[in-house]
Amino acid sequence: MATSLNHELRTTMKQTDAITVDKKLIDTLAARARPALPVAGAEREKLIARIKQLLREKNAVLVAHYYTDRDLQVLADETGGCVSDSLEMARFGHAHPAETIVVAGVRFMGETAKILNPEKRVLMPTLEAECSLDLSCRAAEFTAFCDAHPDRTAVVYANTCAEVKARADWVVTSSIGVKVVEYLHSRGEKILWAPDRYLGGYIRSVTGADMLLWPGYCIVHDAFKADGLAALRKKYPQAGVLVHPESPMEVIEQADVVGSTTRLIQAVTELPHDLFIVATDRGIFHKMKEAAPGKRFIEAPMGGAAASCLSCAHCPWMAMNGLVNLAWTLETGENEILVDPEIGRRAMQSVGRMLDFAERIKVKATGEANIVSPA
Ligand code: 13P
Ligand code: SF4
């Protein structure tokens, strides 16, 4: 199956040959990303207490992604905020009555919160937390691509900037991508998909939809290696394999469960295995351990013994979020996310379409459709 998927991927990529993904820019920005300042001991305790107080004083709620630092995830949980995948982060911030939403994650997540809540203040610990998928897909080029294919419905992954969302017909996250494309395919619609080539290829293989794939990629998931995973599975034949669909096809092919971050956490409680090999950012281990205490988790291999990796299973931009810059943004109100109101209004239509659809078909943020058979 891997060979036919790869053949399919290569065939469509011919149609998107003209699109350039600026790998040099992505690598440069990833290398430049500085992890949050570490804090420990009494200073850490003091900062945590201060952040809790500021969240109350400023009528703010903390929404954190599973890939962020454990301290931030605990803080979000303990203060009535939420730790989740991108779909649930968007929904939670939208439904919550707080005047300020603090998003610990990467910039597109803050922008999505602002698009959905133009009247609220959205703050982030850093405005420099990029995402290589977002960087893979610049608005001008995306618009030209859409203009060149007016017969196709433009479906974009949430990991894109507000301008790209504004041009798209639909925004989806990994929790709901399969369901949305299944629905559009059943209506006979042809899809133009951006920016993640692997997630797009996976969705296409599950739904059979006619999809043109933008050649973007996530630097973290792109680095997982199929041969290394095969060797690890041989060493631990009793292990379950959990894979985020931003990973290469040959890695996805070896999974017991493919799905969004929430789906993968849910899988550790559902599957009988006591040991899991996990192909996604290692920040997720905090919630996996919490969900299944006593079970064990191993990072999927990123390369051969001599390989070097840019991310080493941890998103360099997620790692920029920490206690110090979280306290600072709350204290000063700096790092506010702003979205041009007209772009925000148009982006709201494509994001809102996803949220309405999720509500209609009662998709929880678990992406239950994203299960494949063991390899
Ligand atoms: P999820 O929506 O599955 O959390 O994915 C977001 C992301 O950026 C994964 O790399
Ligand atoms: Fe983007 Fe990849 Fe980081 Fe997720 S892990 S935010 S897709 S670069």
Could you tell me if the CB of 160 is within 6 A of ligand 1?
no
85 lines ligand 1 (CB under 6 A): yes
Torsion, Cα of 360, 366, 367, 369 (10° steps): -100
Within-domain flag for 190? yes
**Residue 144, SS3?**
helix
CA triple 181-285-106, angle to 5 deg: 60
- The closest ligand to the CA of 131 turns out to be 2
Q: Which residues contact 26 (CB under 8 A, 6 or more apart)?
A: 132, 135, 136, 219
- Helices 86-95 and 341-360 pack at an angle, to 10 degrees, of 100
The answer to whether 162 and 134 are in contact (CB under 8 A) is no
247 lines ligand 1 (CB under 6 A): no
Q: 334 lies in a domain? A: yes
pLDDT of 5 strictly over 80: no
Report the residue among 67, 199, 218 best suited for mutation to probe ligand 2: largest number of ligand atoms under 8 A from its CB. Answer: 218
Annotate 178-238 with DSSP letters as a single string.
HHHHHHHHHTT-EEEEESBHHHHHHHHHHH---EEE--B--TTGGG--HHHHHHHHHH-TT
Question: Alpha-carbon distance 268 to 284, whole Å?
Answer: 11
Q: Which amino acid is at 119?
A: E
Q: Look at residue 162 and tell me if it is in a domain.
A: yes
Q: Exposure pattern of 258-271 as b/e (b: 16+ CB <10 Å)? A: bbbbbbbbbbbeeb
- pLDDT, mean of residues 302-326: 81
**3-state DSSP: the chain helix, strand, coil percent, rounded to 5?**
50, 15, 40
| pLDDT tens string 54-77 | 999 999 999 999 999 999 999 999
Q: Are residue 109 and residue 140 in the same domain, yes or no?
A: no
In a domain, 309, yes or no: no
Q: Indicate if 49 and 69 belong to the same structural domain.
A: yes
Q: What percent of the chain has pLDDT over 90?
A: 83
Does residue 244 share a domain with residue 165?
Answer: no
Distance between Cα 73 and ligand 1 center (Å): 15
pLDDT tens digit string along 82-91? 999 887 888 8
Question: Do 301 and 232 contact (CB within 8 A), yes or no?
Answer: yes
The pLDDT, as a whole number, for residue 86 is 85
Give every CB contact of residue 127 below 8 A, 6+ residues apart in sequence.
Answer: 107, 110, 335, 337
Q: Could you give the 3-state DSSP secondary structure of residue 159?
A: coil
- Is the pLDDT assigned to residue 123 strictly greater than 90? yes
Residue whose CA is at the smallest distance from ligand 2 atom 7: 218
Residue range(s) defining the domain that contains residue 63: 33-131+318-339
- Give the model's confidence band at 51: pLDDT under 50 very low, under 70 low, under 90 confident, else very high: very high
Any domain includes 237: yes
pTM of the model: 0.91
Spacing of C-alpha 14 from chain mean position: 26
Looking at residue 16, what is its pLDDT? 72
Specify the number of domains making up the chain.
3
User: Do 163 and 209 share a structural domain?
Assistant: yes
Tokens 């494509």 sit on residue: 350
* pLDDT reported for residue 1: 45
Question: CA dist 172 to 105, 106, 116, Å?
Answer: 17, 17, 14
Supply the CATH number for residue 199's domain: 3.40.50.10800
Residue 368 confidence class, pLDDT cut points 50, 70, 90: very low
Distance 43 CA to ligand 2 centre (A): 30
Give 369 or 245, the one with higher predicted confidence.
Answer: 245
Which range has highest mean pLDDT (271-285, 298-312, 348-362)? Answer: 271-285
